[in-house]
Chain A
Amino acid sequence: MARVAVDVVIKPEILDPQGKAILAALARTGHPGVSSVRQGKHFDLEVDDSVSDDDLEQIAGTLLANPVIETWTVSRLGGNNHHSEPALAAPEAAL
């Protein structure tokens, strides 16, 4: 088994009204130094050895992200060295 992280972000040229709303809220709450916010999505996947890098690219590019408006990165996180992240410590619990 391996853990994989997929991060999806909106392309720079695509309008991100949610990011703009967050930016406005930050300015209101005393963080005027933040000049840009782009909202994205993060996916944690648990996959077995049959899932290749090509499979992961296809998963990310055809379902997790919409290539028209989004870009993505796929990162294999390795084995058991991620216990520090609560969301990953007991993935079965989420099912």
Chain B
Amino acid sequence: MTTSATPAVPEATNARIGVITFPGTLDDVDAARAVRYSGAEAVPLWHADADLKRVDAVVVPGGFSYGDYLRAGAIAAQAPVMRSVIEAARGGMPVLGICNGFQILCEAGLLPGVLIRNASLRFICRDQWLRVENTSSVWTARFEPGAEILIPMKNAEGCFVAGEDVLDELEGEGRVLFRYVGDAPTQGNPNGALRDIAGICSADGRIAGLMPHPEHAIDPLTGPTDDGLGLFFSVQDFIGSLQTAGV
């Protein structure tokens, strides 16, 4: 298998990318580091504060917000900062949900479907191969079509579920962003996710969510690859194009 070509560092875009911290969030520090590493400014956002601080995009990072009480992401989806994120996202602001962040975006209604307990009932922690199925979204445009990437995955509730009609719509509109690939038992679909779906996006490609962790794969020193950088470069390309266009 081959990874995508390592993207070149983009021109400085002065992009401001918010990273939310909820009680129980774990990966905000790595997400902020990935934002900075890719050349943008990381702006801390707080769950109880509705102020988005004029950010150009938001990353909802992983962890166990509110202890996964009720359902993973259900309480966080009602937090003051998420009300602002939902409003801004509906106005076109790019949003990326990673792991618990993906669960939160689904619970908030920004993405369809829901993440349920892994079919094995086990917490699964491993480096995971994914195929980038859509390379025209705001968060994946830097990847080459058909690119296969290796990034860490760690969750107990990563099994993507949606109605057949929703799944057909996602497939038909090219909104399946990432799919699990490779051969069992060490690769392939780890959790029973329907149609091997690891990540999806909104119809306009601006709101994206995935269970594996691109922010943990930005430097071969600390991750399996630097494949995760592609998402952070992609959104900066998009923000830069808006700035160039004077939007």
CB neighbors of B among A37-95 (8 A): 63-64, 66, 68-69
CB neighbors of B among A1-29 (8 A): 14-15, 17-18, 21
A64 touches B70 (CB 8 A): yes
B70 touches A69 (CB 8 A): no
CB of B170 within 8 A of chain A? Answer: no
CB of B83 within 8 A of chain A? Answer: no
- Residue in B closest to A10 when the chains form the complex, CB atoms: B116
Task: Give which listed residue, B71, B117, B161, B192, contacts A18 with CB less than 8 A.
Answer: B117
Query: For residue A68, which residues in chain B have a CB less than 8 angstroms away from its CB?
Result: 106, 112-114, 161-163
A21 touches B121 (CB 8 A): yes
- Residue in A closest to B164 when the chains form the complex, CB atoms: A13
Query: For residue B71, which residues in chain A have a CB less than 8 angstroms away from its CB?
Result: 66
Count CB-based A-B contacts (< 8 Å). 36
Q: Whole-angstrom distance from the CB of B175 to the nearest CB of chain A?
A: 16
Query: For residue A15, which residues in chain B have a CB less than 8 angstroms away from its CB?
Result: 116, 119, 159, 161, 192
A69 touches B116 (CB 8 A): yes
Q: Whole-angstrom distance from the CB of B166 to the nearest CB of chain A?
A: 8
Question: How far is A68 from B166 in the complex, measured between Cα atoms in Å?
Answer: 10
CB of B6 within 8 A of chain A? Answer: no
B192 touches A63 (CB 8 A): no
Query: For residue A14, which residues in chain B have a CB less than 8 angstroms away from its CB?
Result: 116, 161
Question: How far is A66 from B163 in the complex, measured between Cα atoms in Å?
Answer: 13
The B interface, classified by DSSP as helix, strand, loop or mixed, is loop
Contact-size category for A: 10 to 19
Question: How far is A69 from B113 in the complex, measured between Cα atoms in Å?
Answer: 8
Question: How far is A15 from B121 in the complex, measured between Cα atoms in Å?
Answer: 12
Q: Whole-angstrom distance from the CB of A23 to the nearest CB of chain B?
A: 12
B107 touches A17 (CB 8 A): no
Question: How far is A63 from B71 in the complex, measured between Cα atoms in Å?
Answer: 9
Known A15-B192, A68-B161; judge A63-B117 contact (CB<8 A).
Answer: no
Known A15-B192, A68-B161; judge A63-B118 contact (CB<8 A).
Answer: no
- Residue in A closest to B114 when the chains form the complex, CB atoms: A68
Q: Whole-angstrom distance from the CB of B161 to the nearest CB of chain A?
A: 6
Question: How far is A15 from B114 in the complex, measured between Cα atoms in Å?
Answer: 12
Question: How far is A15 from B118 in the complex, measured between Cα atoms in Å?
Answer: 10
CB of B120 within 8 A of chain A? Answer: yes
Question: How far is A54 from B114 in the complex, measured between Cα atoms in Å?
Answer: 25
Q: Whole-angstrom distance from the CB of A19 to the nearest CB of chain B?
A: 10
Question: How far is A43 from B113 in the complex, measured between Cα atoms in Å?
Answer: 23
B119 touches A17 (CB 8 A): yes
Where the two chains meet, the residues of B that have a C-beta atom closer than 8 Å to any C-beta of A are 70-71, 74, 78, 106-107, 112-114, 116-121, 159, 161-163, 192
**Extra 12 A-B pairs, beta carbons < 8 Å, given A15-B116, A15-B159:** A14-B161, A15-B192, A17-B118, A18-B117, A21-B121, A63-B70, A64-B70, A66-B71, A68-B113, A68-B162, A69-B116, A69-B161
| 17 pairs from A and B in contact (CB 8 Å cutoff) | A14-B116, A14-B161, A15-B159, A15-B192, A17-B116, A17-B117, A17-B118, A17-B192, A18-B117, A21-B121, A63-B70, A66-B71, A68-B106, A68-B113, A68-B161, A68-B162, A69-B114
